[in-house]
């Protein structure tokens, strides 16, 4: 039998056929997981599709004319012996698509196998984000998309890992994620990224979008933005003698207060106060998760040492999931 190869894109990754010199070529996205290779097996004795041969098939890939390596998926899946006779699929890992030129080959232990290799030239991961207008102009459908991937694991509705993403810490902080439900593509939710850990590809959102329940396999588009959190602080004296300072510390994104307690049950903060041009800290007041009321750290500092008609510089820091967020407020007047 003859074995022909072509690329079948998954619903989440896009892809398809492109044309070169009048001939169709099948396109695959470079360095993107969850794509499939489909094999057509032909019995050379009968010139008909061969069914029931899944256990005998092995597929290989050569990347950029390199060595021929067996695919990680060693178990072919027959699509449908009746409605799609002779078609077998293999799952491809992200690494197996990480090349500009991919040569897929294969073999069967069934006698009479003939192999017809398939050459695939990859396209950029965001290739599916472009479109052609009625005037024939290529336009971007998802401007500023930094990464298109899926949710790999889900710890909560504000914390999950990506199937593919940057290895650099903070790469997506301040960006906007657009989550698309895997079963109902019309369902979409958005939220800003609070923090990102590159080694684990972990995304922590600033808040739960509360649109639908996100799940493993949902599509994620990360869009460039600058929605970074700011740390706000208010200071006042509790008595006219100024013997006790009252502090309120909270985080905001786009004017919305972040639910710090739900983001990190062990959240903490600190406030460092110094008099203008003094060069020495007046005091440091720390707040713990037990001080949080309605997402705001509310606590006191005894004997702050304030003097009327003076300016102070205040640096407030909130630590969430081991990541510190700080801001400095100048020209703070107590009196």
Q: Tell me the domain boundaries of the chain.
A: 2-123, 145-223, 230-334
Tell me the whole-structure pTM to 2 decimals: 0.54
Task: Please count the other Cβ atoms lying within 10 Å of the Cβ belonging to residue 244.
Answer: 14
The average pLDDT across 79-102 equals 92
Whether the pLDDT of residue 234 is over 80: the answer is yes
Note the pLDDT tens digit of each residue in 33-57: 889 988 888 888 888 888 899 999 9
What CATH class does 2-123 carry?
mainly beta
CATH of domain 145-223: 2.40.30
Helix (H, G, I), strand (E, B) or coil at 164: coil
Q: What is the pLDDT of residue 22?
A: 40
Least confident range of 57-61, 254-258, 283-287: 254-258
Note the pLDDT tens digit of each residue in 168-191: 999 999 999 999 999 888 899 999
Q: What is the pLDDT of residue 18?
A: 44
Using CA atoms, how far residue 104 sits from 19, 27, 36, 83, in Å, is 19, 13, 12, 25
Average pLDDT, the chain: 84
pLDDT confidence tier of residue 92, bands split at 50, 70 and 90: very high
CATH of domain 230-334: 2.60.40.1940
- CA dist 12 and 27 (Å) reads 15
Q: Which helix (H) or strand (E) holds 327?
A: strand 323-334
- CA dist 329 and 306 (Å) reads 16
Note the pLDDT tens digit of each residue in 289-299: 999 999 999 99
Q: What percent of the chain has pLDDT over 90?
A: 51
The average pLDDT across 140-153 equals 79
Domains 2-123 and 145-223 share a fold: no
- CA dist 53 and 161 (Å) reads 37
């Amino acid at each position: 039998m003859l074995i022909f190869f072509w690329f079948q894109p998954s619903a989440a990754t896009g892809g398809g056929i492109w044309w070169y010199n009048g001939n169709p070529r099948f396109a695959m996205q470079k360095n993107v997981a969850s794509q499939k290779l489909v094999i057509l097996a032909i019995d050379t004795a009968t010139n008909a599709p061969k069914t029931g041969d899944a256990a005998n098939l092995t597929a290989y890939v050569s990347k950029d004319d390199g060595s021929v390596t067996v695919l990680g998926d060693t178990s072919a899946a027959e699509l449908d012996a009746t409605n799609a006779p002779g078609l077998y699929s293999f799952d491809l890992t992200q690494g197996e698509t990480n090349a500009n030129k991919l040569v897929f080959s294969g073999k069967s232990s069934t006698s009479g196998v003939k192999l017809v290799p398939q050459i695939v030239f990859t396209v950029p991961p965001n290739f599916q984000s472009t479109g052609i207008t009625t005037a024939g102009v290529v336009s971007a459908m998802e401007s500023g998309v930094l990464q298109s991937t899926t949710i790999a694991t889900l710890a909560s509705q504000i914390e999950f890992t990506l199937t593919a993403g940057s290895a650099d810490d903070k790469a997506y902080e301040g960006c906007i994620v657009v989550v698309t439900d895997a079963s109902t593509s019309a369902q979409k939710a958005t939220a800003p990224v609070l923090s990102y850990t590159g080694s684990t590809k972990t995304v922590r959102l600033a808040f739960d979008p509360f649109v639908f329940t996100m799940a493993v396999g949902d599509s994620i588009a990360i869009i460039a933005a600058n929605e970074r959190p700011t740390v706000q602080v208010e200071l006042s004296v509790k008595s006219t003698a100024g013997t006790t300072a009252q502090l309120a510390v909270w985080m905001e994104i786009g004017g919305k207060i972040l639910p710090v307690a739900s983001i990190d049950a062990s959240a903490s903060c600190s406030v460092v106060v110094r008099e203008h041009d003094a060069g020495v800290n007046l005091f440091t007041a720390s707040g713990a998760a037990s001080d949080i009321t309605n997402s705001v750290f509310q606590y006191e500092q005894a004997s702050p040492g304030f003097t009327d008609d003076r300016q102070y510089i205040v640096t407030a820091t909130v630590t969430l999931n081991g990541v510190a967020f700080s801001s400095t407020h100048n020209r703070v007047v107590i009196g």
